Structure 1
Amino acid sequence: MHITIYSKPNCPQCAATKRAFDRLGAPYTVVDITTDPVALATLQEAGFRQAPVVFVDSDFWTGYRPDRIRDVARRLQTVSSASGVLA
C-alpha cells in the first residue's frame, strides 16, 4: 500500500492526519506543498483547495478524515492477516 500526504506546515488537519497514520504504523510519504511548487500546481489544477490531500493507492481525499483513515487501517489489517503477519 502506497500512502502520500500532501501537507503544509502549521496545518492542524495535516498534523492530525499524520499522527493517525503514525498510530497505525503505516509508512507514508509527505510532500510539503509550500516547498514543492510543481506538486502544489498539480493539486490545484486537479481541483484540490485544502490540505492535506491524501492518496492511498488509487483512492484519495482531502482534509482530516478519521473515517477514511479507519478504512485504511482495515485494509492494512487485512493485508497483514493475509500475509501471516500479526497485526
Structure 2
Amino acid sequence: MSATEAGEVQVFGREGCVQCRATCRALTERGIAFESVDVDADLDAAATARRVAQAGGSTQLPVVQVPGMAPWTGFRPDLIDAIASEAV
C-alpha cells in the first residue's frame, strides 16, 4: 500500500494557517491524497498534533504524518516531493 492512498497522509492544521494551506495545496497539486484534520474542531486531533510536534522539538502547524516517514511540522516542499516521487 502506497503512502499516497487516501487516508494514509494526515495533515493536522487549522483554518487560516498559511503553512497549512500551502501544504494542502502542494499535496493536491502533486496528486497526493490526504486527510485534512482541523485541530480547532477536534480536541483529540489537537492533542495528537501537539504530542507529535513536541516530540520533534516543534510547536508549529501543520503536523504531517505519513506512514514509513518521520512526522514533520511546517511547510516542507522537499518532503512533499519525496512522497510524490515514491508514488511514481
The share of aligned pairs that are identical, in percent, is 35
Q: What's the CA shift for 1:39? A: 1.2
Bigger CA radius of gyration: 1
* TM-score normalised by structure 2 residue count: 0.80
Give me the CA root mean square deviation. 1.2
Asked whether 1:54 is paired with 2:64, we answer yes
Q: Distance in 2 between matches of 1:9 and 1:56?
A: 21
Q: Distance in 1 between matches of 2:16 and 2:50?
A: 19
More strand by share: 1
* Long gaps (5+) in structure 1: 78-87
Q: Distance in 1 between matches of 2:81 and 2:16?
A: 24
Q: Distance in 1 between matches of 2:79 and 2:32?
A: 14
* TM-score normalised by structure 1 residue count: 0.81
Paired residue type of 1:64: F
Aligned to 2:16: 10
Aligned to 1:29: 35
Aligned to 2:48: 42
Q: What's the CA shift for 1:38? A: 1.0
Flag as ranges the 4+ runs of structure 1 deviating above 3 A.
Answer: none
> Size of the alignment, in residue pairs?
77
